[in-house]
Structure 1
């Protein structure tokens, strides 16, 4: 059984993330979405809120489990017996950064990284853009799951 991890801060999770999950479960038997605590980032949602939102997005995908983690990803992978890292890349600049991380993860623990691009329908979406639109109470249709939209509207006091 091939088990992979899809790590990130997912602040908030969006449809591009969900697209990567749906594509990854066609390749791997089990996928753990690992939501990073990452206290060094100024995050909009707590780790518990991010796990809740992502869990709601994937509740009908049996092969997916959403968990939080803290520390090095490779340590989490060893503890959970995960073999491969799945990373979504949208642009060449994303790839450059992700390649550095992948090379270091391989050096640290000999784990492989698989890079996946979201479909053209979602390649333009980022959590930063979603947060910006939500902060102005803008339309989030086609960017996030309805539950995530609800949580964003609550967070920014939108009606």
Structure 2
């Protein structure tokens, strides 16, 4: 039997409950899930790459234990399809929050399919409780002193609050 390997890419800055929802659902249909943490310095990340990878690993351990799926967290840079090929992924998992996400994701899926028709893109809708959560909003709310506890898991909450409350010069 061929191992079902998927790739879930993102910047995960920070990892949210929405991300974990998609990871948990993808883990139920895969044998191995690679969570690709994009380097993407251009987005001006709140967390350095190593810490984003560490947080995703910590927050996905319970999902891996619960589902029996091997979840690996790996940083990546460059063309998504090349990274998928290097991981042995036959599926790229993308989470959709709203209709507005679909146009961009549809175009990306078409381009990726043209680059490698053997790799399928699968869209998983975020659950209704997580459809509105985005890392960008979480960071903005945290920076403005709002409560983000319902948007991120506990360790990520602690680290995010610590990061936004500590001036960059320290």
1:14–1:143 contact (8 Å) kept in structure 2? yes
How far the C-alpha of 1:101 sits from its partner, in A, is 0.7
Q: CA RMSD in A?
A: 1.2
* TM-score after normalising by structure 1: 0.95
Structure 1 residues 7-156: aligned runs within 5 Å: 7-62=9-64, 63=69, 64-110=71-117, 111-156=119-164
1:137–1:156 contact (8 Å) kept in structure 2? no
Runs of 4+ deviating beyond 3 Å: none
How far the C-alpha of 1:134 sits from its partner, in A, is 0.8
5+ residue gaps, structure 2, are none
Whole-angstrom CA distance in 2 between matches of 1:48 and 1:61: 21
Whole-angstrom CA distance in 1 between matches of 2:164 and 2:9: 26
Output one character per residue of 1:91-131: Cα deviation in whole Å (capped at 9) or x when no partner: 11101001111111111112210001111111111111100
2:34–2:87 contact (8 Å) kept in structure 1? no
5+ residue gaps, structure 1, are none
How far the C-alpha of 1:40 sits from its partner, in A, is 2.3
> Which one has a larger percent helix, Structure 1 or Structure 2?
2
- Give the paired residue count: 158
